[in-house]
Amino acid sequence: MDLFADQSVQTRIRTLTARLHHLNYQYYQNDVSEVSDQEFDQLLRELQELEKQYPEYAQPNSPTQRVGGTITKQFPTQAHRFPMLSLANTYSEADLREFDERVQRGLEGAEYQYVCELKFDGVAMSLRYEHGQLTQGVTRGDGTRGDVVTSNVRTIKTLPLHLREDAEQAAPADFEVRGEVFMPLSVFNDLNAEREQNGEALLANPRNAASGTLKLQDSAQVAARRLRFYAYSFLSTGRHFPTHSAALRALKQWGLPVSDTWRLCGSIDEVLSYIHEWDKKRFELPVATDGIVIKVDDLRQQELLGFTAKSPRWAIAYKYPAEAGRTRLRDIIYQVGRTGAVTPVALLDPVPLAGTVVKRASVHNANQIAALDLRIGDLVFVEKGGEIIPKITGVDLPSRPADAVPVVYPTACPACGTALVRPEGEAHFRCPNERGCAPQLKSKLEHYVSRKALNIDGLGAETVGRFFDLGLVRDAADLYELPQRREELVNLDRLGEKSVQRMYAGLEQSKEVPFDRVLFGLGIRYVGETVAEKLAAHYRSIAPMLAASVEELAAVPEVGGVIAESVAAWAQDEANRQLVERLKAAGVQMQLTGEAPQPLSDRLNGLTFVLSGVFEQHSREELEQVIVRNGGKVTGSISKKLSYLVAGDKMGPAKREKATSLNVPIIGETDLLAMVSDGGL
CA separation for the pair 579, 521 (Å, rounded): 12
235 is in an annotated binding site: no
CA separation for the pair 26, 40 (Å, rounded): 12
413 is in an annotated binding site: yes
86 is in an annotated binding site: yes
Pairing of β 228-235 and β 379-384:
unpaired
Instruction: Specify the amino acid at residue 149.
Output: V
The number of helix segments (H) and strand segments (E) in the chain equals 25, 22
39 is in an annotated binding site: yes
- Sign for the CA dihedral angle at 49, 50, 52, 58 comes to negative
Does the annotation count 511 as an active-site position? no
38 is in an annotated binding site: yes
Residue (of 89, 112, 121, 94) closest to 264 by Cα position: 112
140 is in an annotated binding site: yes
CA separation for the pair 435, 418 (Å, rounded): 11
Pairing of β 123-130 and β 375-376:
unpaired
The catalytic position among 119, 215, 534, 658 is 119
475 is in an annotated binding site: no
Q: How far is CA 346 from CA 329, 377, 393, in A?
A: 7, 11, 12
- Sign for the CA dihedral angle at 153, 155, 161, 167 comes to negative
279 is in an annotated binding site: no
116 is in an annotated binding site: no
Residue 284: DSSP 8-state: G
Residue 417: DSSP 8-state: -
Residues 6+ apart with CB under 8 A from 406: 373, 374, 375
87 is in an annotated binding site: yes
For residue 364, count CB atoms less than 10 angstroms from its CB and return exposed for 0-12, middle for 13-18, buried for 19 or more: middle
- 274 HSE (CA, 13 A, CB side): 23
41 is in an annotated binding site: yes
CA separation for the pair 519, 563 (Å, rounded): 14
47 is in an annotated binding site: no
Cβ(631)–Cβ(604) under 8 Å?
A: yes
383 is in an annotated binding site: no
- Sign for the CA dihedral angle at 624, 626, 628, 633 comes to negative
Residue 431 main-chain phi, psi, to 5 deg = -90, 120
Q: Which residues are annotated as a binding site for NAD(+)?
A: 37-41, 86-87, 117, 140, 180, 295, 319
Residues labelled as active-site residues: 119
User: Which residues fall in the annotated binding site?
Assistant: 37-41, 86-87, 117, 140, 180, 295, 319, 413, 416, 431, 437
Q: Which residues are annotated as a binding site for Zn(2+)?
A: 413, 416, 431, 437
